């Protein structure tokens, strides 16, 4: 059983980590995780361990309220649209406005206290009263949360640290500064949360593929409107010019050209007519179409892509895992340093306790690692979002990070480097068989195969008046096909299979290109010769990858002469005449010669190359538009056949990594600088809280630079 909860309005990422830890300790929980990009908690449960789901829901809400009272919780049903979202956002807005009013009122009372002190108005310590009221209004929620966490044994969180820092400031007489620092902290936290929420929304806008209102034609000809989630298979959808197709289906009326750029990242038009399959997310560029829905929205291309991208951040990169672990130790270490700063110098006779306590408070203010905890996953989320908009689906932050470490790129030849559109160029006949006879036997045997050469044979069907009845077939992967057709035994496949295993003899193919050999009743019958060609621009792409220092090679089951010809044109190494298990062995050999950090990427079609995709460090499936198998089997999915997308993916990965490390260096650098300045008495609490909140905001905005650059490029 899997439960999902949407969390809105949380200001403290480290607090949410504590929520997740607490949920994971509940009976019956297999795993709980926070999806940063979705603002969701996903919980996997043992079905037989949870008797009352409603009671469990309340436990989750109580834990969220304990550690992050500003957050609101809503249970999510992924099979339905969230109809309560507007009400949910209204509640959050009311809660936010209430906090702003309290904060403004607190600052006002703090100002009254400051004016009373400055003008020496000391009636019944009214200035202290103003300060206390102002402090409680501005930071009471922080102090209360710190107390609740303390009771729960959770000490090192930003609520506790800010409470100790500001209360300490008041105890040494720095009342105005205590209130001002608390107020600025609250404003900074609010701005930080707004910035993160806005950032996530901006990234999600890249994936606005969904159609809200859809026109549906009923059996009596009436036009009604439905949401995408309400469409059922068999519904007839009216798609006007400029409309997005809401679910996968098939055209039953009309002709048009569909823009597939939302799915592939390339602005290309695909001409379609009655009988053609279409995917959700495509845009009708002209005319009107009637499309019969074949899938529910949740099973259509758009829903699968959006879900894949949003859930990709659940697969954490090594950097994210390191930062999460680092954050657990960073705060306690800084607090220990603060304690030493407060105690050691005065004991050694250097300055007064009040002076060093004040300096120690600065350490507490900047001891929260929020800038890192928030900005790092946001950087990866932005990189994944931009990749998706360009037709590159990266199935996890870990794979985006790995793309930046690619050392070797291994290609399947057909359909990856070449167009994969073979054309029969020549037929060499044996033993007095006629061309029509061998074509009929070969096409009949291969009529259900999806191999590229089999499809090329099928294109010759129009030359025949009929096909043979196929009585039985047996496929030998990587070798060929055995069939009984019209009481004749047919062998059709590779030279190695027919010559080495079947003991037949064929002449050498001097024409280059691919070949298929045919035997009828254990006698050589024909040698079919096919021609393929390199994809346009492929030489330049391979050259650019070489310039990046990447090693490249071809692994192919095709014969040596054919593979050598392609490899020679591209100037890369090759392995030919390989069985599927041979490819895995060679991949292992290549990986053994690389360091642990260096990654190997394999590019194939995601169907015939599934074992190689799975064994490589990064499996990249090409031409996956409308292909569920490819999306499920690969780590990175390129939705069209453009190998240039590999260059784009590596570039996005490199830029994302640079942003991540810029944020790490900037955040830690600023904190270290202010710790040093604070310990030397050159920076006060004001500067410390400004540095803490400011660097978090800067890190968030820096994370989005890849998004802004992409929009400018558009």
Q: CA 409, CA 403: separation in Å to the nearest integer?
A: 11
Q: CA 621, CA 599: separation in Å to the nearest integer?
A: 16
Q: CA 137, CA 134: separation in Å to the nearest integer?
A: 5
- DSSP letter at 230 equals G
Q: Where are the beta strands (DSSP E) in 344-401?
A: 392-394
Q: CA 183, CA 458: separation in Å to the nearest integer?
A: 75
Q: CA 512, CA 530: separation in Å to the nearest integer?
A: 8
Q: Of 39, 157, 243, 412, which one is the catalytic site residue?
A: 412
CA distance to 307, 320, 401, 554, per residue, from 317 (Å): 19, 5, 6, 29
Beta strand pairing call for 618-621 and 636-638: parallel
CA distance to 36, 42, 555, 599, 636, per residue, from 320 (Å): 12, 18, 34, 19, 19
Q: Does the annotation mark 412 as catalytic?
A: yes
Q: CA 526, CA 511: separation in Å to the nearest integer?
A: 15
CA distance to 21, 22, 114, per residue, from 1 (Å): 19, 19, 57
Q: CA 584, CA 589: separation in Å to the nearest integer?
A: 9
**What residues have CB less than 8 Å from 711, skipping those under 6 apart?**
none
The SS3 of residue 337 is helix
Tokens 């750029």 — which residue? 261
CA distance to 36, 130, 300, 357, per residue, from 185 (Å): 22, 20, 45, 20
Tokens 């006007």 — which residue? 240
CB burial class (10 A; 0-12, 13-18, 19+) of residue 412? buried
Token digits of residue 217: 């034609």
φ, ψ for residue 166, nearest 5 deg? -75, -40
Q: CA 8, CA 90: separation in Å to the nearest integer?
A: 11
Answer for the pair 417, 494: CB distance below 8 angstroms, yes or no.
no
Answer for the pair 19, 67: CB distance below 8 angstroms, yes or no.
yes
Question: What residues does 458 pair with on adjacent strands?
Answer: none
Residues labelled as active-site residues: 412
């Amino acid at each position: 059983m899997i439960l999902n909860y949407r969390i809105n309005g949380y200001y403290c990422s480290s607090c949410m980590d504590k929520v997740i830890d607490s949920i994971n300790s509940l009976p019956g929980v297999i795993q709980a995780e926070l999806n940063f990009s979705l603002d969701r908690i996903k919980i996997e449960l043992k079905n037989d361990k949870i008797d009352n789901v409603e009671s469990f829901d309340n436990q989750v809400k109580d834990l969220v309220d304990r550690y992050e009272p500003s957050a609101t919780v809503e249970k999510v049903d992924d099979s339905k649209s969230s109809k309560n979202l507007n009400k949910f956002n209204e509640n959050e807005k009311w809660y936010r406005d209430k906090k702003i009013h309290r904060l403004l009122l607190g600052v006002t009372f703090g100002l009254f206290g400051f004016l009373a002190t400055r003008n020496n108005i000391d009636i019944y310590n009214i200035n202290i009263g103003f300060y206390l009221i102002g402090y409680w209004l501005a930071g009471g929620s922080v102090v209360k949360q710190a107390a609740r966490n303390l009771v729960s044994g959770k000490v090192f969180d930003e609520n506790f640290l800010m409470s100790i820092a500001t209360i300490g400031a008041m105890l040494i007489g720095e009342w105005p500064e205590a209130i001002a620092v608390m107020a600025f902290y609250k404003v900074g936290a609010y701005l930080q949360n707004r910035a993160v929420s806005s950032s996530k929304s901006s990234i999600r806008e890249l994936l606005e593929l969904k159609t809200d209102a859809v026109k549906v034609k009923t059996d009596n000809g009436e036009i009604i409107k439905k949401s995408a989630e309400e469409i059922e298979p068999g519904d007839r959808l009216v798609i006007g010019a400029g409309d997005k197709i809401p679910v996968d289906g098939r055209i039953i009326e009309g002709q048009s050209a569909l823009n597939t750029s939302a799915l592939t990242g390339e602005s290309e038009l695909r001409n379609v007519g009655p009988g053609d399959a279409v995917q959700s997310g495509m845009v009708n560029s002209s005319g009107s179409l009637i499309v019969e829905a074949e899938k529910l929205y949740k099973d259509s291309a758009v829903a699968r892509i959006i879900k894949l991208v949003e859930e990709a951040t659940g697969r954490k990169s090594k950097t994210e895992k390191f930062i999460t672990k680092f954050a657990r130790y960073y705060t306690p270490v800084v607090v220990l340093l603060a304690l030493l700063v407060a105690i050691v110098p005065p004991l050694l006779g250097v300055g007064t306790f009040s002076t060093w306590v004040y300096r120690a408070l600065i350490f507490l203010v900047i001891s929260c690692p929020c800038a890192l905890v928030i900005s790092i996953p946001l950087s990866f989320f932005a990189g994944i979002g931009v990749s998706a908009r360009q037709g590159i689906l990266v199935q996890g932050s870990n794979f985006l990070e790995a793309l930046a470490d690619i050392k070797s790129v291994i290609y399947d030849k057909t359909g990856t480097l070449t167009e994969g559109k073979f054309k029969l160029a020549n037929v060499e006949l044996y033993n007095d068989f006629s061309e029509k006879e061998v074509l009929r036997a070969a096409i009949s045997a291969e009529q259900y195969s999806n191999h590229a050469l089999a499809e090329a044979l099928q294109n010759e069907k129009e030359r025949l008046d009929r096909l043979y009845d196929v009585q039985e077939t047996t496929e030998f992967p990587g070798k060929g096909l055995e069939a009984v057709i019209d009481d004749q035994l047919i062998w059709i496949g590779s030279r190695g299979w027919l010559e080495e295993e079947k003991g037949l003899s064929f002449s050498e193919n001097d024409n280059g290109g691919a070949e298929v050999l045919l035997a009828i009743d254990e006698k050589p019958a024909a040698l079919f010769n096919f021609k393929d060609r390199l994809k346009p621009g492929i030489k330049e792409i391979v050259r650019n990858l070489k310039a990046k220092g990447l090693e490249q090679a071809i692994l192919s089951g095709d014969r040596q002469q054919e593979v050598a010809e392609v490899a020679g044109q591209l100037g890369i190494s090759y392995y030919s005449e390989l069985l599927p298990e041979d490819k895995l062995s060679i991949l292992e050999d290549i990986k053994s010669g690389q360091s642990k950090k260096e990654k190997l990427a394999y590019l194939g079609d995601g169907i015939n190359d599934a074992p190689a995709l799975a064994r490589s460090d990064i499996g990249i499936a090409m031409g996956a538009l409308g292909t569920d198998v490819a999306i499920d089997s690969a780590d990175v999915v390129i939705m069209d056949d453009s190998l240039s997308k590999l260059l784009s993916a590596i570039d996005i990965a490199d830029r994302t990594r640079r942003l991540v490390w810029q944020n790490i260096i900037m955040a830690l650098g600023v904190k270290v600088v202010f710790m040093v300045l604070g310990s030397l008495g050159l920076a006060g609490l004001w500067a410390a809280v400004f540095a803490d909140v400011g660097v978090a905001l800067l890190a968030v905005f820096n994370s989005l630079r890849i998004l802004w650059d992409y929009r400018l490029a558009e």
